[in-house]
Amino acid sequence: MPRFLLLSACLLAATAPAHAHDPAEEQRWSIAIHGGAGVILRETMTPEQQADYEAALQAALDAGSQVLRSGGSAMDAVKAAIVPMEDDPKFNAGRGAVFTWDGVNELDAAIMDGRDRSAGAVTGVRTVKNPILLAEAVKDDGRHVFLSGEGAERFAQDKGIEITEPGWFETQRRKEALERLKTNELSALDVDYKYGTVGAVALEQHGNLAAGTSTGGLTGKRWGRIGDAPVIGAGTYADNRSCAISATGAGEYFIRVGVAQEICTRLRFSSRTLPSDTGPDETGDQIETAPGGRVALTGAIVSDVADAVMAEVAELGGDGGVIVVTPEGEAIFSFNTPGMYRGRANSDGLNEVAIFASD
């Protein structure tokens, strides 16, 4: 063999990836969704109501799954899953949003792309039919991350986002909830018994992650209150290095803990790159690694981290839950409430929806 060919072969060998190309890995996708968490009990829900919620969750899950199955992006899958929940009056997001103390519907949403951590968020909008699409428009525009109120609505009109009459969001059930709160001097949780945020997190076939969250907030909220859902790092976060997260719960506590980014950061450090001579862990088991020699984020690791952060929320007095998807395709739920509307699916054939903690 001529010297220059031999040298070229040696250089190619030296620069070749440490792990062989795995076509199956490129085809991996995963998605998880939620429709809120709280005091959701089997004994207080009729079989018909349970079937309706499960059907709505399955429809949202199917919409997101179809995008990923066909090779679409995680961002598109997140939107595809959230939009039908925003349009469904059973959920507290978009149509069916709760009323503020002043009797109006104020909507919040956020979306984040794990590839470059670009993000968009909106709060206090009253006429945008699908706030998650407005959040994406903010992200794509790139000049700002977080817009509010009238300014966000003007931006929506400039970008051609669908606008609707405020009456589109109103439902009789939510009006009655506000009346009960005011008449009986109750808290928002006493009225609704749950936190009605919706969200989705996804891993696409190309390895990118995305997260999105949308909500109407709390019944009777006042003074322009903003919860965790639209706050990047509190209720929504995505980073290809660790995970994508959407949260639902007592927003003030999720903001104080920085739940979404806290979980992602802990997982990023858990997924450190190991030296080539690393041996078994303290239990004697060989540590599972992912391509590049980093620690694989197994379901057990993700659950431990998410549960630990949710325990911190509980220690401060808050409750709720999170959905998490990792670069390995793990789709995990962690919640400290009696129930959480949720679902997950992946390229291995998993497809399930659930409501109660015992499911």
pLDDT for the residue 185: 73
pLDDT for the residue 304: 96
Token pair 């525009």: residue: 141
pLDDT for the residue 272: 62
Please say whether the beta carbons of 96 and 90 come within 8 A.
Answer: yes
In angstroms, what CA-CA distances link 51 with 54, 191, 333, 339?
Answer: 5, 23, 21, 15
pLDDT for the residue 270: 87
Active site residues: 197
Averages of pLDDT over runs of 10 residues in the chain (359 residues) are 40 36 68 93 92 97 98 98 97 94 96 98 98 98 97 98 95 90 74 77 98 95 94 98 96 97 95 51 51 76 96 96 97 95 97 95
pLDDT for the residue 288: 60
Domains of the chain: 27-356 (3.60.20.30)
pLDDT for the residue 189: 61
Please say whether the beta carbons of 210 and 238 come within 8 A.
Answer: yes
Beta bridge partners of 320: 249
pLDDT for the residue 292: 59
pLDDT for the residue 12: 36
Helix (H) or strand (E) holding 323: strand 320-325
In angstroms, what CA-CA distances link 196 with 108, 176, 229, 340?
Answer: 12, 16, 11, 10
pLDDT for the residue 201: 98
As a whole number of angstroms, the distance between CA 104 and CA 118 comes to 31
pLDDT for the residue 295: 76
pLDDT for the residue 252: 95
User: Rounded to two decimals, what is the model's pTM?
Assistant: 0.87
In angstroms, what CA-CA distances link 217 with 106, 109, 119, 172?
Answer: 8, 10, 20, 17
